[in-house]
Amino acid sequence: MNRQIASRHSIALGALLALANPVAAEETPLNALATVGMIADVAQKVAGECAKVSALLGSGTDPHYYSATPSDVDALAAAELIFYVDRALEERLADVLDGFRARTPTFGLASASFSEADLLEDPDEPGELDPHLWMDVSRWARIAPVIADAIAAQRPDCADAMADNVAALEVQMDALHGWVGDAIASIPEGNRMLVTAHDAFYYFADAYGIEASEAIEGISTASEASIGDIREVADFVIANNVPAVFVETTINPRTIEALVAEVQSRGHDVVIGGEVFSDAMGDEGTPEGTYIGMIRANTVTITEALGGTLPDWPEALQAWAQEWRIAP
């Protein structure tokens, strides 16, 4: 077969395929990439079949500390749309992400979704924002319409379907927000103290009435915790009679173990109340590997360890619970 015939043949075949499925090219899901699972899960729900959203970082991975691998750079290069939270979270990825901004629509969702007044400041670094926005469900819900607009810019035919998805998601997020608030409110006053490995819980505290949130490391995990940091938090635990402290899935538990040892060595009682998901969701294929499940698991762990009682799981989230075979 000479080249000309081959080429005519391809055109004929192409035309035939186009007839069979006239909008095939338009319907290819957009290849979207998010840094963390908390974005990817929400974005996939917003996108439906209009995009395939992957997360760069898996469970147990600390986004403050993570640098791009060569395969991450390949994935970013192949992506048609990129989402991240903010330079204050993906500290070591930010420059790489900036490098893609000129060729691929790239959204830092903290600045794209929130005004300055909605954001908390890093108390140790005046002027720097606290990026842990997903800890307040009502705040995190606000990334959904921004994501929908970003996808619709490349898939305008998807706008209506995505508006429905955003509305459905908002109902779920509303219900989850109310449930978390009720759970934390059930903790006896004076016990609503959240002591963790790093300062990821200021938005959680702000939204749900946690009286104080203390951590061994600051907003960033980039610097090592010192003995002085551990002693300072031990002082807080003792002064406030905090009954339980929490390890985080993305951080080595040894700093919290050292804290417990320090408090106990001074004759006070404190236990490790469990493991919370701060900067990454749980394993894929588990309930905690979803945004709703991550927030639910944290709330269950915190509420039970600090002496509260869990409210009934909301009606609007029964379908989620059934999907994961969680008894209501």
Regarding 279 and contact with Zn ion (CB under 5 A), the answer is yes
CB of 122 to Zn ion, least distance (A): 11
CB of 163 to Zn ion, least distance (A): 32
Closer Cβ to Zn ion, 202 or 208, answer by number: 202
CB of 130 to Zn ion, least distance (A): 9
Cβ 246 vs Cβ 275: under 8 Å:
yes
Distance separating alpha carbons of residues 61 and 37, to the nearest angstrom = 10
CB of 243 to Zn ion, least distance (A): 24
Closer Cβ to Zn ion, 200 or 244, answer by number: 200
Q: Which amino acid belongs to residue 282?
A: G
Q: Stretches 179-187, 207-215, 273-281, 315-323: which one binds Zn ion (CB under 5 A)?
A: 273-281
Cβ 243 vs Cβ 270: under 8 Å:
yes
Contacts of 297 (CB under 8 A, 6+ apart): 276, 277, 282, 287, 288
Q: Which amino acid belongs to residue 272?
A: I
Closer Cβ to Zn ion, 279 or 288, answer by number: 279
Q: Stretches 75-83, 134-142, 147-155, 272-280: which one binds Zn ion (CB under 5 A)?
A: 272-280
Distance separating alpha carbons of residues 219 and 278, to the nearest angstrom = 11
CB of 147 to Zn ion, least distance (A): 21
- For Zn ion, the binding residues in 187-226 under the rule CB under 5 A are 200
Q: Stretches 226-234, 260-268, 274-282, 300-308: which one binds Zn ion (CB under 5 A)?
A: 274-282
Integer CA distances (angstroms), 282 to 2, 272, 289, in order: 56, 19, 4
Closer Cβ to Zn ion, 136 or 279, answer by number: 279
The closest of 82, 86, 83, 81 to 64, measured between CA atoms, is 86
Contact residues toward Zn ion (CB under 5 A) are 200, 279
